[in-house]
A and B are shown apart, each in its own frame.
Chain A
Amino acid sequence: KQEVTQIPAALSVPEGENLVLNCSFTDSAIYNLQWFRQDPGKGLTSLLLIQSSQREQTSGRLNASLDKSSGRSTLYIAASQPGDSATYLCAGPVGGSYIPTFGRGTSLIVHP
């Protein structure tokens, strides 16, 4: 079974820091990679979607990259704010499967 791993599992930083969240997958055959944000007890909100033909996507202070050859994606958060506190999950249909595989997420706390 294909796996998606997210490191670190938890992160606590002071406001203003630039952050990198990592997502790795076991097979480079991936159609796309999607990053989500989840607030406690809430649904998943899509942040960025990177197609396999792309290398990165940007939205405001967020930038996500995809390196299929190394099996990695990173989510970069610039100038973090307390409102960024949430769990961030990555997911993608890896290993040639259409069905997405989810990572366990990175729990982020940004303190004032």
Chain B
Amino acid sequence: EAQVTQNPRYLITVTGKKLTVTCSQNMNHEYMSWYRQDPGLGLRQIYYSMNVEVTDKGDVPEGYKVSRKEKRNFPLILESPSPNQTSLYFCASSLVAPKGANYGYTFGSGTRLTVV
């Protein structure tokens, strides 16, 4: 089944303890992206990647890191989590057509992160 898989689904952690949220897709998509969703603020893009070893900042990159060493994986790293990073996180992917168009986005099921 074609899908984007995020792990873990739920995570409670303490301030300052490094964590990684994994994202993997099995559709050979070039484009992958991380979003956070907060009440009243909608979806905000954290980082995105157009292909292996190509990453760029989104609208709210502070406090996050990403890497794209393989096409299928795009982990989100919080080096020193803080309570304001408590949120619902989504990973998404898509194919990239010539001239930059895409064929629509597939989203993971989300990771609910709580930082205390």
Interface on A for B, CB 8 Å cutoff?
31-32, 34, 36, 41-46, 49, 51-52, 89, 91, 93, 98-100, 102-105
User: Is the CB–CB distance between A43 and B107 below 8 Å?
Assistant: yes
Interface on B for A, CB 8 Å cutoff?
31, 33, 42-43, 45, 48, 50, 58, 88, 90, 92, 96, 100-110, 112
A42 — which chain B residues lie within 8 A by C-beta?
A: 109-110
User: Is the CB–CB distance between A93 and B101 below 8 Å?
Assistant: yes
User: Is the CB–CB distance between A102 and B110 below 8 Å?
Assistant: no
Question: Which 8 A-B residue pairings sit nearest by Cβ, starting from the closest?
Answer: A31-B101, A49-B104, A44-B107, A98-B100, A43-B109, A104-B42, A102-B43, A43-B110
A43 — which chain B residues lie within 8 A by C-beta?
A: 90, 107-110
Complex CA distance for A38 and B77, rounded to whole angstroms: 25
Complex CA distance for A102 and B50, rounded to whole angstroms: 18
Q: Are A31 and B43 also in contact (CB < 8 A) when A41-B110, A99-B48 are?
A: no
A43 to chain B, nearest CB (A): 4
Complex CA distance for A98 and B31, rounded to whole angstroms: 10
Complex CA distance for A102 and B106, rounded to whole angstroms: 14
